[in-house]
């Protein structure tokens, strides 16, 4: 299919865009082109949905289609082609007359993504923010959907947003839509929070070991708690231990999941280290969502995928959710012959998680009194997506250099840079408070809102600073949510998005005071005004 263009992740080549035959994330030009084709088909579906009645199957096709195009999710041409066909069938069901029309108007035609990549820079920038934000939000909508939760406003906005991506709109029309992504994503994250807590209970703080006992085990990566639950059910009593990886770590904090005695601990560190950490792993790995890296020959026979995740040559577990192949592989490999002790990036042998909004707000009196008495000087939200590109040690150093009387709130996979460190306590609370997955930004936002109420001030007036790292599109929709809420003075890194034009960046700087990270010492001095 030839060359391609992609600039949706932080690691894009030269901080401008991946072109040619392959991209930094490992997807081929053919896969990138198919993802563009799928996106064009989704825009056509959004056009067909205008003035018609999309059904549940239509919503699913839209959400799945957007999720598939997320970075490090799907590398399989056959799988993407199948999704394109599904989207086209849904469009046909909405506007069946178009296929037999003798005077086609072209209104419901598929959009050519080359038009977007060749748009005037500011239009391309805003449409990219809109598109990538929708892709990120689709991941959260999907996880809620598999638990039986959906929201009509959220569903309808996917059509509205995708229609705008393919429309001829000026900047003044696109900018409000970009910010509306943030508004709707807040509702979407709340929906997923409700789905998760209803299904699995309210998370509570828990210490998770990084050691692995001898015997068969399975590593589960990604974000989908339902897949983990089903695997736990199917492995119960079979002598197989289950370990989380990456963004699945917060699963240990949910009462109904940690009730399974064979959910033992967490294996590995940040997602970008998987090619090294899985190389000699005597166990299978189940990927439920991103972030999947192209498996190396040394372990590709042990990688299994499910849901929208796919990679050519890997065994895929379909909608029936029969994990028998994964279980059989675990028993075949046998695990380690003796107990093993592993460490985090900084040498720690355990991590904590489960400090969601209920846990943190449960200690609100302690926190408020700590601030009023001067025992707590500042709150830092240091979190987001991790990645392999150099410069991300900034976040480790920032946490290390933060005042000893400050609290560090964290979430998403960026926490692996420092979550195994023991930074002591403040007012009886551990200084590092892991709030969960990236979607648990909802919890962080609610904590900030409630603290602002307690101190009778705005969120921007709190002694709270947000130091965010980004990699893929879920970070985009979360950032847009923060902007929708009017939160200012966000520090963003390790580099600014390639898809943000100079004029759009200037708008964000002028209106929201977004700043690129510099050095931990310089940024801390600026924040604390010392």
CATH code at position 34: 1.20.1270.20
Least confident residue range of 1-10, 75-84, 315-324, 519-528: 1-10
What is the mean pLDDT of the segment spanning 383-393?
88
Question: Is a pLDDT exceeding 90 seen at residue 22?
Answer: no
List Cβ neighbours of 35 (8 Å cut-off, separation of 6 or more).
Answer: 27, 68, 69, 74, 80
Residue 111 and residue 151 in one domain: yes
Answer yes or no: are the C-beta atoms of 22 and 90 closer than 8 Å: no
Report the number of secondary-structure helices (H) and strands (E) in the chain. 18, 18
Question: How many other C-beta atoms are found inside a 10 Å radius of the C-beta of residue 331?
Answer: 14
* Assigned domain for 345 exists: no
pLDDT band for position 102 (cuts 50, 70, 90) = low
Interatomic CA distance for residues 433 and 293, integer angstroms: 28
Interatomic CA distance for residues 302 and 314, integer angstroms: 8
Side-chain half-sphere exposure of 81, counting CA atoms within 13 A: 6
Residue 262 and residue 379 in one domain: no
List Cβ neighbours of 465 (8 Å cut-off, separation of 6 or more).
Answer: 378, 379, 380, 381, 489, 491, 527
**Tokens read off for 10:** 């932080």
Residue 97 and residue 178 in one domain: yes
Query: Between the CA atoms of 11, 14, 17 and 20, what dihedral angle is there, to the nearest 10 degrees?
Result: -110
Interatomic CA distance for residues 326 and 199, integer angstroms: 24
Buried b (16+ CB within 10 A) or exposed e, 452-481: beeeeeebeebbbbbbbbbbbbbbbbbbbb
Answer yes or no: are the C-beta atoms of 29 and 20 closer than 8 Å: yes
* Assigned domain for 210 exists: yes
Residue 191 and residue 225 in one domain: no
pLDDT score for 105? 72
* Assigned domain for 344 exists: no
Residue 404 and residue 442 in one domain: yes
pLDDT band for position 1 (cuts 50, 70, 90) = very low
pLDDT band for position 2 (cuts 50, 70, 90) = low
Answer yes or no: are the C-beta atoms of 238 and 422 closer than 8 Å: no
pLDDT score for 100? 67
Answer yes or no: are the C-beta atoms of 122 and 501 closer than 8 Å: yes
pLDDT score for 61? 98
Last residue of a domain, one of 184, 199, 214: 199
Buried b (16+ CB within 10 A) or exposed e, 493-517: bbbbbbbbbeebeebbeeebebbeb
* Assigned domain for 179 exists: yes
Residue 416 and residue 297 in one domain: no
Least confident residue range of 14-18, 150-154, 251-255, 516-520: 14-18
Phi, psi of 336 (to 5 degrees): -80, 145
Q: Is 287 left (phi over 0), alpha (psi -120 to 50) or beta?
A: beta
Closest-CA residue to 524 (of 432, 398, 378): 398
First to last CA, the chain: 56
- Within 106-224, residue ranges assigned H as helices are 113-117, 121-146, 152-165, 171-200
Interatomic CA distance for residues 108 and 105, integer angstroms: 8
What tens digit of pLDDT does each residue of 461-499 get? 999 999 999 999 999 999 999 999 999 999 999 999 999
* Assigned domain for 343 exists: no
Question: Is a pLDDT exceeding 60 seen at residue 263?
Answer: yes
Interatomic CA distance for residues 169 and 237, integer angstroms: 58
Question: Is a pLDDT exceeding 60 seen at residue 169?
Answer: yes
What tens digit of pLDDT does each residue of 284-335 get? 999 999 889 999 999 999 999 999 999 999 999 999 999 999 999 999 999 9
Phi, psi of 168 (to 5 degrees): -90, 95
* Assigned domain for 340 exists: no
pLDDT score for 530? 58
Interatomic CA distance for residues 512 and 528, integer angstroms: 19
Last residue of a domain, one of 304, 333, 362: 333
Closest-CA residue to 378 (of 352, 409, 349): 409
State the CATH number of the domain containing residue 380: 3.40.50.2030
pLDDT score for 390? 81
pLDDT score for 247? 95
pLDDT score for 64? 98
Read off the DSSP letter of residue 85. H
Residue 62 and residue 154 in one domain: yes
Interatomic CA distance for residues 430 and 416, integer angstroms: 16
Residue 214 and residue 192 in one domain: no
What is the mean pLDDT of the segment spanning 415-429?
96
Last residue of a domain, one of 146, 178, 199: 199
pLDDT score for 67? 98
* Assigned domain for 347 exists: no
Closest-CA residue to 48 (of 1, 76, 90, 15): 90
Residue 189 and residue 322 in one domain: no
Residue 178 and residue 224 in one domain: no
Question: Is a pLDDT exceeding 90 seen at residue 78?
Answer: yes
Please count the structural domains in the chain.
Answer: 3
Question: Is a pLDDT exceeding 50 seen at residue 32?
Answer: yes
Report the relative pairing of strands 350-353 and 315-317 from DSSP bridges: unpaired
Q: Which domain holds residue 482?
A: 354-528
Looking at the chain, the whole-number percentage of residues with pLDDT higher than 90 is: 89
Q: Please, what is the average pLDDT of the chain?
A: 94
Residue 27 and residue 166 in one domain: yes
pLDDT score for 106? 66
pLDDT score for 469? 94
Question: Is a pLDDT exceeding 80 seen at residue 98?
Answer: no
Residue 318 and residue 388 in one domain: no
In DSSP terms, 351 is beta-bridged to 208
Interatomic CA distance for residues 478 and 487, integer angstroms: 12
* Assigned domain for 339 exists: no
List Cβ neighbours of 442 (8 Å cut-off, separation of 6 or more).
Answer: 186, 189, 190, 192, 193, 357
């Amino acid at each position: 299919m030839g060359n391609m263009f992609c600039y949706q992740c932080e690691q894009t080549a030269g901080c401008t865009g991946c072109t040619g035959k392959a991209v930094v994330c490992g997807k081929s030009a053919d896969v990138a082109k198919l993802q563009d084709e799928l996106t064009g088909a989704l825009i056509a579906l959004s056009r067909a949905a205008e003035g018609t009645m999309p059904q549940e199957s239509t919503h699913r096709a839209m959400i799945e289609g957007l999720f598939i195009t997320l970075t490090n999710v799907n590398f399989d041409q056959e799988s993407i082609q199948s999704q394109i066909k599904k989207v086209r069938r849904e469009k046909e069901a909405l506007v069946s007359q178009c296929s037999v029309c003798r005077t086609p108007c072209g209104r419901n035609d598929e959009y050519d993504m080359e038009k977007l990549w060749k748009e005037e820079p500011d239009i391309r920038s805003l449409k990219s923010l809109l598109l990538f934000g929708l892709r990120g939000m689709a991941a959260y909508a999907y996880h809620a959907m598999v638990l039986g939760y959906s929201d009509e406003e959220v569903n309808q906005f996917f059509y509205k947003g995708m229609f705008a991506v393919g429309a001829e709109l000026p900047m003044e029309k696109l900018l409000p839509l970009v910010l509306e992504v943030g508004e709707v994503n807040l509702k979407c994250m709340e929906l997923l929070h409700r789905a998760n807590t209803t299904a699995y209970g309210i998370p509570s703080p828990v210490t998770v070991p990084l050691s692995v006992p001898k015997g068969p085990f399975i590593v589960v990566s990604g974000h989908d708690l339902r897949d983990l639950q089903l695997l736990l059910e199917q492995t119960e009593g079979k002598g197989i231990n289950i370990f989380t990886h990456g963004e699945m770590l917060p699963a240990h904090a949910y009462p109904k999941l940690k009730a399974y005695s064979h959910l033992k601990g967490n294996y590995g560190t940040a997602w970008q280290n998987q090619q090294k950490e899985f190389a000699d792993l005597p166990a299978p790995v189940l990927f439920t969502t991103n972030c999947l890296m192209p498996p190396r020959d040394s372990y590709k026979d042990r990688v299994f995928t499910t849901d929208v995740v796919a990679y050519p040559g890997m065994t895929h577990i379909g909608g029936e959710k029969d994990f028998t192949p994964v279980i059989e592989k675990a028993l075949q490999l046998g695990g380690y012959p003796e107990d093993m002790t592993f460490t985090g990036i900084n040498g720690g042998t355990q991590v904590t998680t489960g400090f969601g909004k209920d846990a943190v707000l449960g200690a609100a009196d302690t926190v408020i009194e700590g601030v009023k008495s001067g025992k707590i000087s500042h709150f830092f939200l240091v979190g987001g997506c991790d990645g392999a590109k150099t410069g991300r040690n900034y976040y480790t150093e920032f946490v290390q250099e933060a005042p000893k009387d400050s609290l560090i709130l964290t979430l998403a996979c960026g926490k692996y840079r420092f979550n195994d460190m023991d930074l002591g306590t403040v007012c009886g609370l551990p200084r590092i408070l892991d709030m969960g997955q990236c979607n648990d930004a909802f919890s962080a936002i609610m904590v900030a809102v409630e603290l602002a109420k307690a101190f009778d001030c705005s969120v921007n007036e709190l002694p709270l600073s947000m130091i965010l790292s980004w990699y893929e599109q879920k970070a985009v929709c979360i950032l847009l949510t923060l902007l929708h809420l009017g939160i200012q003075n966000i520090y963003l890194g390790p580099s600014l998005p390639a898809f943000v034009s100079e004029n759009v960046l200037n708008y964000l700087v002028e209106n929201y005071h977004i700043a690129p990270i510099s050095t931990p010492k310089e940024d801390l001095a600026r924040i604390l005004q010392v």
